[in-house]
């Protein structure tokens, strides 16, 4: 899990949850997309989950599987 909380946040505070489907680590996704820079500039908190191989051998978010993205269970939980 990667997270970033800037020193100064906007009001109301916002949280951006970034999910991607490629097998790239969260740090590479952050640098490549510039999320932390945007979070610092616009004052929002950032959360980039990184699935484990036990959830998906490709370490991808299983957004396509209804059983996994259901509320209160699976990766959403």
Per residue in 11-42, pLDDT (tens digit) is 768 899 887 666 566 777 788 889 999 998 88
User: Given its phi and psi angles, is residue 43 left (phi above 0), alpha (psi -120 to 50 degrees) or beta?
Assistant: left
pLDDT at position 1? 78
Please, which pLDDT band fits residue 75 given cuts at 50, 70 and 90? low
pLDDT at position 76? 60
Question: How far apart, in Å, are the Cα atoms of 57 and each of 13, 35, 42?
Answer: 34, 25, 34
> Mean pLDDT over residues 34-62, rounded?
81
CA distance 24 to 51: 10
Rg (CA), the chain: 14
Structure tokens at 33: 């997309």
CA distance 62 to 28: 19
Mean per-residue pLDDT over the chain, rounded:
77
């Amino acid at each position: 899990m990667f997270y970033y909380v800037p020193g100064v946040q906007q009001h109301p505070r916002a949280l951006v949850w970034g999910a991607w489907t490629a097998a790239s680590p969260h740090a590479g996704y952050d640098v490549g997309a510039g999320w932390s820079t945007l979070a610092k500039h616009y004052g929002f908190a950032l959360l980039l989950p990184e699935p484990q191989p036990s959830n998906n051998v490709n370490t991808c978010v299983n957004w396509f599987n209804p059983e996994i993205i259901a509320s209160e269970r699976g990766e959403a939980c």
